[in-house]
Structure 1
Amino acid sequence: MTRYPFPDIEGLPEDLRAKILEVQEKSGFVPNVFLALARRPAEWRAFFAYHDALMMPETVGRESNLSKGDREMIVTTTSAANNCLYCVVAHGAILRIYEKKPLVADQVAVNYRKADITPRQRAMLDFAMKVCLHSDEVNDDDFTALHAHGFNDEDIWDIASITAFFGMSNRIASFSSMMPNPEFYLLGRVPRQK
C-alpha cells in the first residue's frame, strides 16, 4: 500500500488520533493520507492546517468565491497532470459528490477542455494548469482573463495556492507509493439509496 508503514492509530498524539477518528466517523473509513502523514506528527499538523485553510476557508474565517466543487476540480485536474493516482482518485470522488456529476472527475482528469464544465471553470482550470506546469510564465494577461470571468485577485491567489499545495501533496503521495482507499473509487458515481 505504501513504502512507509502506517503508524498505529492508538500510538498517535491525541490531537491526530481525535481528528482521524472524526474523519472515520464521517466518511466510514480513514483516508490513507491521514495515516501516511501521521508518521511525522508536526508535518501532519502543518499539512492539514494549510489544507484546511485552502480547501475550507470558512474554518479560518475567510470568505471565498470558489465553491467546494471548484476547489476539488482544481485538485483533480492538476493532480492528473502530475500523474498522482492517490489525489486523482480521492479528490475526484469528492468532486463528483460536490458537483453532483458522476462523470466530471474522469472528464477533467483526462481532458478538462472537453469536460462538461462551465466557461468560468474552464478559465479557472486554464490558469491552474499554467501554474502547475509553467508558473514562471504567469503574467497580467492571465489575471485579465480570470477577471473577465468574475474572479477577483483573492480568488486567483486561491487557485494558485491550491495548485501549488497539491503539487507538493502529489509528490509526497507518488514517492511514498500512497494508494487510494478502495472506497474512493465508487463514491459519487451512483446516487445514494434513500
Structure 2
Amino acid sequence: MSVPATGFTLDVLEWEPWLAPVDYATATEAQRAALAETPSNTGLSPYSLMLAHDPEALRQRTPLFNGIMYAPRGLPRAERELATLVESVLNGCVYCASVHARRFAELTKEPEVVHRLYAEGAGTDLDPRRRAIVDFAAKLTATPPAAGPEDVAALRAAGLDDLQILDLIHAVAIFAWANRLMLTLGEPVRAAPG
C-alpha cells in the first residue's frame, strides 16, 4: 500500500492515477504504437498508460516533449531541469519537482542548490546565470505569465542566446502542462515500507 507524498524532496516518488491506466495486455494497436514512442529506462509508467486512453494525443505529445527536454542543443540539460524544478515547485507538483531535482543534482553534482531552493524558495542565492533562469521560470509560471522584455534582456545579459531562451520557455511551458495533468489526474505517493 502506498501513502500520499507531501513536501518537496529529492527522493524517488511514484505516481498513482485516479483514472484507470490502460492495461497494456489489452491495449489497442493505436495505444501500443503511441506507448512505443514513450522513452523510459524503467518501463511504462502509470502516467503514460493513463495518457494512452487518447493515443493520438500521446503520439503527438511524446516527440514534442522529447524534442524540448532531451535535444542536444540550446540550453544545457541541467539548466532545463533547474527551470522546470522551479516551475514544478511553484505549481505544487511534488512528483515532477522530485524528478527535476534529482536530475539537476545528478547532472551538476550540486544537491545543495536543490536543498536551498526547497528551504528558501526561488529567491535563494544563485550565480547570475542561474538567477536569471530561475527568475524567468518563476515569472513564466505565474498566471498570467509575468515575464516581459526586461526578463529576456536579463537572460541575454546572463549569457543566454536566442535558442537557449526559447528552450527555456519551451521547457517551462511543457512542464506547466505536465504538472496540470499530473495534479488533476492522480497524486504522488511513497511506497509503503515493506
Displacement after TM superposition at 1:103 (Å): 3.5
- Find the counterpart in structure 1 of residue 33 from structure 2: 15
Q: In angstroms, what is the RMSD of aligned CA positions?
A: 2.4
Matched residue type, 1:93: R
As a proportion of its length, which structure holds more strand?
Answer: 2
Contact 1:31 1:181 in 2 (8 A): no
The answer for unaligned runs of 5 or more in structure 1 is: 183-194
Deviations 1:66-95 (A, max 9, x none): 111111111111111001122112222222
Give distance in 1, aligned partners of 2:77 and 2:32.
29
- Find the counterpart in structure 2 of residue 141 from structure 1: 150
Instruction: Report the identity percentage.
Output: 23
Matched residue type, 1:170: N
After TM superposition, the structure 1 stretch with the greater mean CA deviation from structure 2, 78-87 or 171-180, is 171-180
Alignment size in residue pairs: 172
- Find the counterpart in structure 1 of residue 47 from structure 2: 33
- Find the counterpart in structure 1 of residue 141 from structure 2: 132
Displacement after TM superposition at 1:11 (Å): 3.1
- Find the counterpart in structure 1 of residue 10 from structure 2: none
- Find the counterpart in structure 2 of residue 5 from structure 1: 20
Deviations 1:130-172 (A, max 9, x none): 1111555433221221111111122212212211111111111
Residue 90 (structure 1) aligned to one of 99, 113, 118: 99
Task: Compare relative contact order (CA 8 Å, sep 6+) and give the higher one, 1 or 2.
Answer: 2
1:73/1:136 CA distance change after superposition, 3 Å: closer
Give distance in 2, aligned partners of 1:143 and 1:53.
22
Q: Does 1:42 align with 2:77?
A: no
Matched residue type, 2:152: F
TM-score for both structures, normalised by structure 1:
0.76
Q: Does 1:152 align with 2:161?
A: yes
The answer for unaligned runs of 5 or more in structure 2 is: 1-15
Give distance in 2, aligned partners of 1:129 and 1:15.
36
Regions of 4+ moved over 4 Å: none
Matched residue type, 1:15: A
As a proportion of its length, which structure holds more helix?
Answer: 1
